[in-house]
Amino acid sequence: MKTERQYPSVILTERGKRRRETRHPWVYDNEIESTAEGIVDGELVDVMTSGGKYAGTGFYNSNSKIRVRIISNNANDKFDEAFWERRIRYAIDYRMTVMKEGDINCCRLIFGEADEIPGLTVDRFDDILVAQVLSLGIDKIKGMIFEILYMEMNARGEKVIGVYERNDVAIRKLEGLEEYKGYYKLDGIDIPEKTVATITENGIKYDVDVVNGQKTGFFLDQKYNREAISRIARGKRVLDCFTHTGSFALNAAKGGAAHVHAVDVSELAVNMAERNAEINGLGDIMSFEAADVFDLLPNLKSGEYDFIILDPPAFTKSRQTFENAKRGYKEINYRAMKALPRGGYLATCSCSHFMDEVSFMKMLESAAKDAGVRIKQIEKRQQAPDHPILMNVSETDYLKFFILQIF
């Protein structure tokens, strides 16, 4: 018997039905057999099987290959303000539980699908929340969500002065949305003038430029990986490649490295890294260089560094560019392995979902073989727990991080 629902419905194909049985929150355009008339992009739809069985409710968008983003599998849910308050409280409670004491001051509060708020990222940098809205459905209700976040954080004694939107990303075009950035006007709250937040992570202070910094201004997912390398760095000569604003380099220096050289292709990033070193009183044992890592690594002298850190940007954001990305990852890891002495250390990672862990490990094995070395795994790590991984949603499991010894 078919179930009557309150929202317009889309009917799944058999393939779509099988995927929904895994509880993956995305329904693709080719997984829909038919749609009801009058569906409005960005509004809620009920997802049904051809037999009339309820399979979830989500935001519909005909502009996107991800045709429906599921927000609930509960047929009894009412999607009012109270529903979103519960979601947000649950997300904040989770961070308060899993993060170390004090780390809620700089962490990811909302991680999209992993928090069942699809297409929304919210990072906290001291008293500024920085948001990226990447789905039309959430964009339509973002005002309500931002108000709830603001009220909830301040009610907990976690001071927040505003929400800055970093919606200057091309992926919004796939949802039919415009690109822009700026503070969201919260009801009754003056728009802040503040554009740089000062945070403390692992005992190190950083100035975070929420307006011009990459993505939301700072990469929070490596928080505890940076802490892990500080132990290895003690007494070592360290090269930090793709340093961005110097976070791995600063953790190495604070950990007692003999010297740290930080390199990034962006002069703006290098200047900020140098400033962060000065803020933390670490400038005397650090040096900085604006250079292309692909040019720098082949020219290293063997044994020049005891410890090399490779934290590149995502070399691939699609399956189509996977092979080129794999060659890029292999090149930098091969060069680092060649340059390190016997007993040297390598920290290496990939932040691309498409470079899965098995492929990444095979790439490392191939690079070691070509470099004529063997590698010993010390640690295998992932993203910090404020970026939770849903076991049935592989897209949330993206960061691979290895600490290795070369011998």
Instruction: Give 364-381 as a 3 state SS string.
Output: HHHHHHHHCCCEEEEEEE
Do strands 44-48 and 345-350 pair parallel, antiparallel, or not at all (unpaired)? unpaired
**pLDDT for residue 4:** 58
Instruction: Supply 231's token pair.
Output: 């132990």
Spans of all domains in the chain? 9-72, 81-198, 221-406
* C-beta atoms surrounding 303 within 10 Å: 12
Q: Element (H or E) spanning 209, and its range? A: strand 204-209
Q: Element (H or E) spanning 223, and its range? A: helix 223-232
pLDDT above 90 (res 404): yes
145-172: average pLDDT: 97
Model pLDDT for residues 256-289, shown as the tens digit of each residue: 999 999 999 999 899 999 999 999 999 999 999 9
pLDDT averaged over the chain?
95
**pLDDT for residue 1:** 40
**CA 320 and chain centroid, separation:** 21
Homologous superfamily of the 221-406 domain (CATH): Vaccinia Virus protein VP39 (3.40.50.150)
321-342: average pLDDT: 94
**pLDDT for residue 5:** 67
pLDDT above 70 (res 240): yes
Pick the CATH number of 9-72 from 2.30.130.10, 3.40.50.300, 2.40.30.110, 1.20.1250.20: 2.30.130.10
pTM of the model: 0.93
Residues assigned a catalytic role: 351
**pLDDT for residue 2:** 46
Q: 99-116 burial by CB neighbour count: b if 16+ within 10 A, else e?
A: beeebbbbbbbbbbbbbb
Pick the CATH number of 81-198 from 3.40.50.720, 3.30.750.80, 1.10.1760.20, 2.40.110.10: 3.30.750.80
174-195: average pLDDT: 96
**pLDDT for residue 324:** 86
**pLDDT for residue 315:** 84
* Sign of the alpha-carbon dihedral angle for 262, 350, 210, 203: negative
pLDDT above 50 (res 353): yes
315-338: average pLDDT: 88
pLDDT above 50 (res 302): yes
Do strands 32-35 and 286-290 pair parallel, antiparallel, or not at all (unpaired)? unpaired
* Sign of the alpha-carbon dihedral angle for 132, 135, 136, 137: negative
Torsion of CA 109, 220, 28, 144, to 10 degrees: 30
Q: How many residues does the chain have?
A: 407
DSSP character string of 36-104: -TTPPTTSEEEEE-TTS-EEEEEEE-TTSSEEEEEEE--TT---SHHHHHHHHHHHHHHHHHHSPTTGG
**pLDDT for residue 321:** 81
